[in-house]
Structure 1
Amino acid sequence: MTSFRLGLALPQYGKLADPSAIAGFATEAERMGFASLWVGDRVLTPVAPKTYYPSGTPEQPYPPEFVRFVDPLLALTIAANSTETARLGSSTLNGPLYSPVLLARSLTSLDLLSGGRLDVGLGLSWLRDEYTAAGVPWEHRGARLAELVKVLRTLWTADPAGHHSERWDIPDSLIGLRPLQQPGPPVLLGGASDAALRRVGRIADGWLPAGLPIPMLRQKWAVVVESAEKAGRDPESLRRVLRINPAPGSKTASVEDVAAQLKAAEADGITEALVDLHYVAETVPHALELAGELHAAVFA
């Protein structure tokens, strides 16, 4: 697996949520050979949520680990200061909840701090209560995400830069701070619905699938490819970064099983993946121990 790029989720939530541990973890993960480091996003965990996690139930509407969550942009900032080569990504930021002007500034600063290593992963979030808490409409959130991507790219490249719509009225402004990556950091989108996949093909630099078996990945990628071709874009230029979340007690939770999933993904043409160890690691040192075993199993 010489060309395969394996990433790792930073210790950010649940038992591993400790901002003071992120720097050491990131440094060690890069030393081990991990090619990328990733964060997720959770704004809050309501007692009685209006919508459930995809595998949630009334008794357990979301993973209990979500109750404790370090800010994703802070975690990426720490990792940027602690590493030299690993790319830094989000899988994913809940895009529509953010002000495009403030998010553009933060992401530009992160790209500069990291020396141009930032991958901007954006999604919609499944939790309606987050939209309520942020004062953002739940309706038309897909269109809001697409417009956010457009505004970010405008603020990263235009001079002067502005945007005028019913959602956001940003006066034409002079913006001296520019990302090191031009025309801006790659924008990767999550989601597995047909609408989300078509959006990836139309406007994104890549797709962030999560927890999907290979046959389903193929079917959904075909939707992305068709959408890209209809938009006059080259599907071969789009990235796929597969996310694997091993869970305790599952049939695919062991290091060997995860390594087998990664090798199967590579054989099917996927060249990038990340593994999230939050559900199987008891401590940050334990997560690093598992990470070392996984890297050895994949690249032996």
Structure 2
Amino acid sequence: MHIGIALPQYGTHARAEVIASFARDAEAAGFDSLWVGDRSLAPVEPSDLYPGHTPDHPYPSEYKTFLDPLVALTVAATATTRVRLGTSTLNAPWYPPLLLARSLTSLDQVSGGRLDAGLGIGWLRDEYTAVNADFRKRGARLEEILDILAGIWAQEVFGHKGEHWEIPRSYVGLRPAQNPGPPLFLGGFSPAAMARVGRRAAGWVGVAMPAEAQAGLWGIARRAAEDAGRDPDALRRHIRHNPKPGATPEEIAAALRGVRDTGAESCFVDLQQCVREPGEALELGSAVLERVRAS
């Protein structure tokens, strides 16, 4: 199983000046991938609660400071040569798909073809309000975005007219380093989201959970792939693990071994809610990496 770590991006870790050195050191330590997430707002009176949270603590307080994910990955791309670079997840319906395609294509070029683009639809209605996007149609918007990305990456002349966007027929000269484009992974936990993974994606960007629950969700994706005439064995999983503050290297390593036992191809740890400093995160993550690789 490939093992990754989240880049310093939010909360007390949101320090742009350390991204490059963190990325270099993580690659040297033996990590296989570097990851970012995507948050745009920390509302004073949020429309929705973050899963598992309460009205007096509606979302992780660290989300009040959040560096742009694609900027952070671009810095990491220029500081490394080997590691894969992933988004888990980029909230695709916030972005005009033409500009999203340009950003992802450019990042794939800058990184020399190392981008794994994980796309999701988010959970906070306020973020959709702020970018003038319809939260109720976020699934349909994602489907159309996938159509547009596939078309732009496959065609030298591309145009699109859909429910949400219209793109005049235009020449497409900017091409990704990966052919036909960066692998697209999708997030989500509903049956509809998992079926979309099976029908349309390279795989799933999920989170660590009990093995039985993950198996149930993954089964939906595999069946949807079969129904769509795709090879379910070609689907891959990138699993995020968010340890709680105070977690020990062995506790975190045990969680990653549990993910490995499910057959997932990749797991990464996000330690930005576990420790306060990027240096602490890299030290703890390296200790976890050593333990998982030794077992």
The TM-score range, normalised by the shorter chain, is over 0.9
Partner of 2:292 in structure 1?
Answer: 298
Partner of 1:152 in structure 2?
Answer: 149
* Aligned-residue offset at 1:178: 0.1
Partner of 1:23 in structure 2?
Answer: 20
Q: Residue 208 of structure 2 contacts residue 259 of structure 2 at CA under 8 Å; is this kept in 1?
A: no
Partner of 1:175 in structure 2?
Answer: 172
User: How many residues are paired up?
Assistant: 294
How far apart, CA to CA, are the structure 2 residues paired with 1:201 and 1:187? 12
* Aligned-residue offset at 1:223: 0.6
Give 1:100's aligned amino acid.
Answer: P
Partner of 1:269 in structure 2?
Answer: 263
Give 1:85's aligned amino acid.
Answer: R
2:31 is the alignment partner of 1:34: yes
Give 1:263's aligned amino acid.
Answer: R
2:202 is the alignment partner of 1:205: yes
Instruction: Give SS of 1:208's match.
Output: strand
How far apart, CA to CA, are the structure 2 residues paired with 1:36 and 1:211? 17
Map Cα deviations across residues 139-176 of structure 1 (whole Å, 9 max, x no partner).
12111111111111111121201111121100011011
Instruction: Give SS of 2:150's match.
Output: helix
* Aligned-residue offset at 1:259: 0.8
* Aligned-residue offset at 1:33: 0.5
2:114 is the alignment partner of 1:120: no
Map Cα deviations across residues 252-293 of structure 1 (whole Å, 9 max, x no partner).
x32111111211222221121111000111111111111111
How far apart, CA to CA, are the structure 1 residues paired with 2:95 and 2:86? 17
How far apart, CA to CA, are the structure 1 residues paired with 2:64 and 2:208? 21
Map Cα deviations across residues 166-216 of structure 1 (whole Å, 9 max, x no partner).
211000110111001011100000111111101101101110111311111
* Gap runs ≥5 in structure 1: none
How far apart, CA to CA, are the structure 1 residues paired with 2:132 and 2:59? 22
CA RMSD of aligned residues (A): 0.9
1:10-89 paired onto structure 2 within 5 Å? 10-89=7-86
Instruction: Give SS of 2:38's match.
Output: coil
Give 1:234's aligned amino acid.
Answer: D
Instruction: Give SS of 1:243's match.
Output: strand
Among 183, 187, 194, which residue is 1:186 paired with? 183
Q: Residue 245 of structure 2 contacts residue 275 of structure 2 at CA under 8 Å; is this kept in 1?
A: no
The range that moved more, 139-148 or 30-39, is 139-148
TM-score, scaled relative to structure 2: 0.98
Give 2:213's aligned amino acid.
Answer: M
Give 1:277's aligned amino acid.
Answer: L
2:85 is the alignment partner of 1:91: no
Q: Runs in 1 of length 4+ with deviation above 4 angstroms?
A: none
Give 1:254's aligned amino acid.
Answer: T
Map Cα deviations across residues 34-77 of structure 1 (whole Å, 9 max, x no partner).
00000000011110011110112110110000000000010000
Partner of 2:103 in structure 1?
Answer: 106
Instruction: Give SS of 1:38's match.
Output: strand
Among 241, 244, 264, which residue is 1:244 paired with? 241
TM-score, scaled relative to structure 1: 0.96
Give 2:47's aligned amino acid.
Answer: K
How far apart, CA to CA, are the structure 2 residues paired with 1:124 and 1:159? 29
How far apart, CA to CA, are the structure 2 residues paired with 1:85 and 1:150? 30
How far apart, CA to CA, are the structure 1 residues paired with 2:261 and 2:41? 38
Instruction: Give SS of 1:139's match.
Output: helix
How far apart, CA to CA, are the structure 1 residues paired with 2:166 and 2:239? 35
Instruction: Give SS of 1:286's match.
Output: helix
Partner of 2:281 in structure 1?
Answer: 287
How far apart, CA to CA, are the structure 2 residues paired with 1:296 and 1:290? 10
How far apart, CA to CA, are the structure 1 residues paired with 2:10 and 2:210? 25
